[in-house]
Every structure is written in C-alpha cells, then in structure tokens.
C-alpha cells in the first residue's frame, strides 16, 4: 500500500514562492528608499567630481612636463627633417 505524503511540503513551497516575489523595496518604507536613492545620487556625483579632478591634475602635469622639456628633447620630438635646412 502506498502512503500519502503530507501536504506540509506543498504549503512550504508556496510560502517560498510568495517570499521570493517580495522585493526589498516592498519591505522597506518609502522614506528609507528615498534616502537610499539620494545617497546613491550623491555618491555618483562625488565620483564624477573625483574623475574630473584627476583628469585636470593629469592635464596640468602634462603641461608642466612639456614646459620643462629641454631643447634637445623638443628637437628630438619634432617631425621636421632639420638636415634639409642646413
């Protein structure tokens, strides 16, 4: 004779299915969600500012290196063939 399996397993599966359909936003109230979104925007803005500052610093360093080059280095980087002008 076969024994029937208890119905408890089916009910636990339905509970798991219900709990998996809930999202984090559903569990938190709207106040907290808005604070999290605002913080995320602030962090993104700070990251953009940091990248812009890094690029400006690199640009200034390149300009300073170019300014400090010797005549020999500038002549070596030149595309002109100076032998034609002798």
Average pLDDT of the residues in 68-73:
84
Give the span between the Cα atoms of 33 and 23, in whole angstroms. 12
pLDDT (tens digit per residue) in 12-30:
555 555 556 667 666 668 8
Distances (CA, A) of 9 to 4, 13, 61: 12, 6, 68
What is the pLDDT, as a whole number, of residue 59? 96
Distances (CA, A) of 85 to 2, 30, 80, 82: 105, 76, 10, 5
Q: Give the angle subtended at the CA of 37 by the CAs of 36 and 41, to the nearest 5°.
A: 115
Give the span between the Cα atoms of 28 and 31, in whole angstroms. 8
């Amino acid at each position: 004779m076969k024994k029937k399996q208890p119905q408890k397993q089916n009910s636990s599966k339905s509970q798991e299915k219900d709990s998996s359909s809930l999202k984090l936003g559903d569990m938190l109230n709207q106040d907290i969600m808005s604070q999290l979104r605002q913080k995320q925007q602030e962090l993104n803005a700070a990251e953009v500012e940091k990248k812009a500052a890094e690029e400006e610093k690199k640009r200034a360093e390149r300009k300073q290196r170019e300014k400090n080059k010797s005549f020999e280095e500038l002549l070596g980087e030149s595309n002109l063939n100076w032998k034609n002008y002798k």
